[in-house]
Structure 1
Amino acid sequence: MKTHNSFEETFKFEGSAKTWSLAALAVGVIAVAIGFATGHVAQTFSNLLLMSYYFVCVCIAGVFFLAYQYVAQAGWSASLIRVPQAFAKVLPIASLVLILVVTAGLFTTHEVHEHGKTEVEPYLYAHWATHGLTDPKAENYDKIIDGKSGFLNLKFFYGMLVVFLAAYSYFGYALTKASNDEDTEGGMRNYNKSFALACTFLVIFGFTFPIFAFGTIMSLEAHWFSTMFGWYNLAAMHVSGVAVITLVIILLRKKGYMGWLSENHLHDLGKIIFGFSIFWTYVWFAQFFLTWYANIPEESVYFYIRWEPEYKFWFWLNIVMNFLSPLLLLMSRDAKRMTNRLMWVCILLIAGHWLDYYIMIMPGTVKEHREFGFAEVGSFLAFGGLFTFLMLTQLSKFTSLIPKKHPFLQESLHHHI
C-alpha cells in the first residue's frame, strides 16, 4: 500500500472482512427463516421492517452528511468523504429492500380474533391497511382512519416511498459522480455542481424526510400522531449514520488505510455524534413531556403501551444508551480524541438506535411479543452483513480513497484543532 502522499491508495475488499460479512448474512437469513418457520411471523416481519428502515436511514445519512459538508464548504472532512459516498451508492439497493419488505408485510395476511370478532389483517400497517376501515358500511369501520385516508392509502404510501427514496438515491449518485469527475477533470466545475446539488437536496430532504418517517413508522399506530416524530427520526437517522461512518473510518485506519486522518478528524466526528445525541434527547423528551403533560387519552396511550412490563426496561435503557452514554463518555475534548473510546461509543450508539427503532415499531405491530429471539438476532445479522458487504464493495470501486482534486483537500490534510 502506497503512502498517502501519492494519493493512489485504494481499498481491497478481501480476507476476513468479506468472509465475516457473508457469514453474518447467511446466518441471519437462516435465523429469519427459522423465525417464520416456528410461527413467529408477525415478530419476524416487524424485525425485517426495523432493519430495512435502519438500513435505509444509515445510507441516507451518508447522503445527508455529504450534503451539509458541501453546503457549509467544510474543509476538515474533504479527505474522508469516500466513506459516506460508499453509503450513498448503496442507498438504491437499501431502498428496494425496504419496499420489498413493506410489500410482503402489507399483502401477507392473517386472522386476528378480538372482542368476539375475527378480522383478516396484514402483518404490517394493519391499523390503516385492513380492509373495511374506511368503508362506513363495514363492520370494522374506523372514523379516525377514514379521516386520515387521504394520506393513509396504498397509492399515496407507495408513491411517497418510491418518489422520496428515488430522489435521495439520485442526489447520492449525483454527488458521488461529481466527486469522481472532479478527480478526472480538476477545476472548480464539479465542486460548484456539488454545492448546488447539496443545497437542492437539503431543501427537499428537510420537507420530505418527516413525511417519510410518518408514513413508514408512525403509521404503524395510525390513531396516534406527533408533529415531532419526523424530527425525532431525523435525529436518530443522523446520529446512527455518523456513528457507522466513524466506526468504518476507525476500523479502516486500524487496518492501515486512510493514514492521513488524524485524531483531529476523529475529534470533529465525535463532536457531531455528541451534539446530535443531545439534540435527539431534546426531541425525545419534548415529545414525551408534552404528551404526558397534556394527558389526552388518545395521545398518552402511545407511551402507556411502552410502559407495560415487557417494554418499560427497554424504554428507559434507550435513554441510558443514546443520551447518558455519549454524554458521559464523550463530554471532554480528550475523550473525543481517544480512538478506542470513540469506537466503543459508536458501537453502543448503533445498538442503542436499533433499540430506539425497536421501541418505535414493536408495540404497534406485535400484540403477543414477549422476548428476543431468532427474528431479532437474525435480522440484525442479515442486514449488518448485507450492509457491510455492499458498502465495502462500493468503497473498493473508488480509484482512490482520497478525492485527489477536492479544492479543500490540503486544508483537510493539515487539519488541526
Structure 2
Amino acid sequence: MATTTHHHETATAEFLELAPSARRRFTLFMVAGVILLAIGLILSYLGIGAEHHAAAGAEGAHHTAGAGSSVEHHGSPIWLKRLIVSLWHSNVFFTGIAAVGTVFVAINYVAYAGWSVIVKRIAEAFSAWLIPGAVIMLVVFGVSLINHDIFHWTAPGIMDPKSENYDAIIAGKSGFLNLPFFVIRMVVFLFIWWFFSERLRKLSLEEDQMGGTGFWDKSINVSALFLVFYAVTSSIAAWDWVMSIDTHWFSTMFGWYVFASWWVSGIAGITLCAIFLKQAGYLRFLTADHLHDLGKLMFGFSIFWTYVWFSQFMLIWYANIPEESVYYNQRLGGFNDKYTWMFFFNLIINFVFPFLVLMTRDAKRQMIMLKLVTIAILIGHWFDFYLMIMPGTLKADSGFMIEIGVALIFLGAWLTLMTKRLSQASLIPVNHPFVEESMHHTT
C-alpha cells in the first residue's frame, strides 16, 4: 500500500482550538452522568431493585431491603456506600490512565523512538488529571474511613488482639497496612507521578521555544529516572488502592495486572484522541503508519493483559487453596452468580474482540476499526476495575446506574482538563530532534 509522505514540508506549529460542539459534548457527558447518578441514588435510597441477599459463608453477602433503610450491619447506607466506592473506582481508573500518558512519553524518550513524536503532546496532556485525581482520592479515602466503606482493614480494633473485631491475618499486615503509612504512600506516589509529568512537560515546551538538543538530553535522563520510580510505585499503588480491598487475599502478579489494564487503556486513549484530532483537521502529518504502530501496541498489550490474567487465574485455580481461590469464587459463581457474566465479558471485550479485530495489518490502519477497538478497550477495562473493586466492597449490592453516572462525570471532567492542556501548546513539537523522522515515518 502506498503511503503519503511530506518530504517537501517542514514541521510547523498546530494549535488546537476546541470547537464549541466539543465543549458541549463534554458538558453533556457530565450532565448525563449527574442525571444517572441522581436517579440511581434515589432508586437505591428507596430500595427499588434491591434484593434480599442471604449470607453466603465466606462471600459475606448481606441484607439490603426497605425504603430508605437499606443499611449494612457495619457501614454506610447502601446508596451512600455505592457512591463512595464508585468515586474510588472511577478515580483509580482515570488517574492511572493520566499517569500512563507520562509513561508513554518516557518510554519513547529512553527508547530513542521517533515515530511517536506526532502524538507526544496528546500523551503529555493526559497528566492534567493528576492533581484533581489526587485531591479526589484523598477526599474519598478520608470519607470512606467514617464507616470503613472501602477498606476492611481500617475498621477499629481489627488489629488489636484485645478487640472482638481482631483479625490475626490482617493484624499480620499491620506494618504495611496502617493509616499513616498508607496515606504517606498515596501522597508520595501521586506527587512523584505529577512532578515528573510536569518536569517532562516543561522541558518539552522549552524545547519548542528555544530548540537544540539539550532539552531532549535532559528529557531522556528525567524519563529514565521516572520509569524506575513508576515501576515501583505503580505496583505498590495497585496493592494499596485495589488489592488491599480484599485484605486476606493477595497475588504476587497483581501489580503487573493492574499496570497492564492501565497501560492498554492509556494507549487506547492516545489512539482515540489522535483519530478525533485527525478527523477534525489537525495532526496533518499523522498517517496510517502511525495508527498502525498504535494499533500494534493495543494488539500486543491486550494479549499481555490476557497473559497476566490467565497466569494469575490458572495458578490459583490449579492450586485450589481456599485462601487464594476465594477471590475468584466471589467473581465466578459467588453472590448468586451476580458477577459471573462480567467475568467472561471481561475476557471477551478486553481480549477476544481486540485480538480478532486487530489481527490483520489493514485493520490497524483504518480509523473506524481502531475507533471500535479503542472504545471497547476503555469500556472493557473500566469494567475490569469494576470487577476488581465491587465484589470486595459492595458484595452483592453493586449496580450500574450510580456507577456509570459517576464514570460519565469523570469522563467529561477528564476530557475538559485534557483538551485544555492540549490547546496550550502546539500539537506538533516543532523543535523535537526526531520530529522530521516522525513526519516521514513509514511501516
TM range, smaller chain = over 0.9
Report the alpha carbon displacement of residue 26 of structure 1 after superposing the two structures with TM.
3.0
Matches within 5 A, 1:261-272: 261-272=286-297
Q: 1:321 aligns with which of 308, 324, 349?
A: 349
Partner amino acid, structure 2, of 1:83: I
| Residue pair 2:338, 2:396 contacting (<8 A) in 1 also | no
Report the alpha carbon displacement of residue 166 of structure 1 after superposing the two structures with TM.
0.3
| Residue pair 2:11, 2:436 contacting (<8 A) in 1 also | no
| Residue pair 1:51, 1:379 contacting (<8 A) in 2 also | yes
Q: Which residue of 2 aligns with 1:366?
A: 394
Q: Which residue of 2 aligns with 1:381?
A: 408
| Residue pair 2:251, 2:312 contacting (<8 A) in 1 also | yes
Q: Which residue of 2 aligns with 1:175?
A: 200
Matches within 5 A, 1:52-67: 52-67=91-106
Deviations 1:138-192 (A, max 9, x none): 0110000100011111111111110011001111111111010001111111000
Q: Secondary structure at the match of 1:7?
A: coil
| Residue pair 1:220, 1:365 contacting (<8 A) in 2 also | yes
| Residue pair 1:4, 1:258 contacting (<8 A) in 2 also | no
> Are positions 1:78 and 2:117 aligned together?
yes
Report the alpha carbon displacement of residue 79 of structure 1 after superposing the two structures with TM.
1.8
> Are positions 1:404 and 2:422 aligned together?
no
Q: 2:384 aligns with which of 356, 359, 382?
A: 356
| Residue pair 2:18, 2:423 contacting (<8 A) in 1 also | yes
| Residue pair 1:90, 1:390 contacting (<8 A) in 2 also | yes
Identity percentage over the alignment? 45
Q: Unpaired segments of 5 or more residues in structure 2?
A: 1-7, 46-78
Q: Which residue of 1 aligns with 2:60?
A: none
RMSD: 1.5
| Residue pair 2:316, 2:325 contacting (<8 A) in 1 also | yes
Matches within 5 A, 1:50-129: 50-107=89-146, 109=147, 122-125=148-151, 127-129=152-154
TM-score, structure 2 normalization: 0.88
> Are positions 1:197 and 2:236 aligned together?
no
Report the alpha carbon displacement of residue 227 of structure 1 after superposing the two structures with TM.
0.7
TM-score, structure 1 normalization: 0.93
* C-alpha separation in 1, matches of 2:322 and 2:32: 43
* C-alpha separation in 1, matches of 2:27 and 2:144: 25
Q: 2:422 aligns with which of 384, 395, 402?
A: 395
| Residue pair 1:305, 1:363 contacting (<8 A) in 2 also | yes
Deviations 1:255-290 (A, max 9, x none): 111111000000000011111111100000000000
Report the alpha carbon displacement of residue 30 of structure 1 after superposing the two structures with TM.
4.3
Q: Secondary structure at the match of 1:69?
A: helix
Q: Which residue of 2 aligns with 1:339?
A: 367
Q: Cα 1:64–1:358, aligned 2, differ >3 Å: closer, same or farther? A: same
* C-alpha separation in 1, matches of 2:377 and 2:194: 25
* C-alpha separation in 1, matches of 2:415 and 2:381: 18
* C-alpha separation in 1, matches of 2:395 and 2:11: 58
Q: Which residue of 2 aligns with 1:130?
A: 155
Q: Which residue of 1 aligns with 2:70?
A: none
Matches within 5 A, 1:214-363: 214-308=239-333, 309-363=337-391
Partner amino acid, structure 2, of 1:385: G
Runs (4+) of structure 1 moved beyond 6 Å? Answer: none
| Residue pair 1:56, 1:98 contacting (<8 A) in 2 also | no
Report the alpha carbon displacement of residue 5 of structure 1 after superposing the two structures with TM.
4.7
Partner amino acid, structure 2, of 1:185: M
| Residue pair 2:390, 2:398 contacting (<8 A) in 1 also | no
| Residue pair 1:66, 1:81 contacting (<8 A) in 2 also | yes
